[in-house]
Amino acid sequence: DTEVTQTPKHLVMGMTNKKSLKCEQHMGHRAMYWYKQKAKKPPELMFVYSYEKLSINESVPSRFSPECPNSSLLNLHLHALQPEDSALYLCASSQDPKGQGIYGYTFGSGTRLTVV
């Protein structure tokens, strides 16, 4: 299995809703990432998990709450989002738990989130 699987593929939520994005990989990668991508823009890093521990938070608002329950699973909990949070949310994993930056990422296909 060489894939990163993200669910759901599409999500529409109201500003008062609570929802979660899910990401799963079975490649034995111990580093996992959340990126946000707006239309016609490059991905922007949100969070990095290394060995199931949060290692980087790029000053993301608290309405985004990441969770890494085990080495294969990464969640992003969403609460009280704003319309400007509408974007493609990409999960990625890497053989790079030491944060050496030499392996590149395997990306999932993303969840397209629309906040109304």
Partner 1 sequence: AQSVTQLDSQVPVFEEAPVELRCNYSSSVSVYLFWYVQYPNQGLQLLLKYLSGSTLVKGINGFEAEFNKSQTSFHLRKPSVHISDTAEYFCAVSTYNQGGKLIFGQGTELSVKP
Contact stretch for partner 1 (CB under 8 A) within 14-22, 64-72, 73-81, 105-113: 105-113
According to the binding rule CB under 8 A, does residue 109 interact with partner 1? Answer: yes
Question: E-assigned strands of 1-116?
Answer: 4-7, 10-13, 18-25, 31-37, 44-50, 53-57, 64-70, 73-79, 87-94, 106-107, 111-115
How near is the Cβ of 63 to partner 1 at its closest, in Å?
22
Cβ–Cβ < 8 Å for 110, 21: no
CB 110 within 8 A of CB 37: yes
42 touches partner 1 (CB under 8 A): yes
Spell out, one character per residue from 56 to 85, where the chain touches partner 1: x when CB under 8 A holds, - when not: x-----------------------------
> Which of 93, 55, 49 has its CA nearest to residue 68?
49
Check residue 108 for interaction with partner 1 (CB under 8 A): yes
26 near partner 1 (CB under 8 A) = no
d(CA 49, CA 98): 11
Task: Report the interface residues with partner 1, using CB under 8 A.
Answer: 4, 6, 31, 33, 40-43, 45, 48, 50, 55-56, 90, 92, 94, 96, 98-102, 104-110, 112
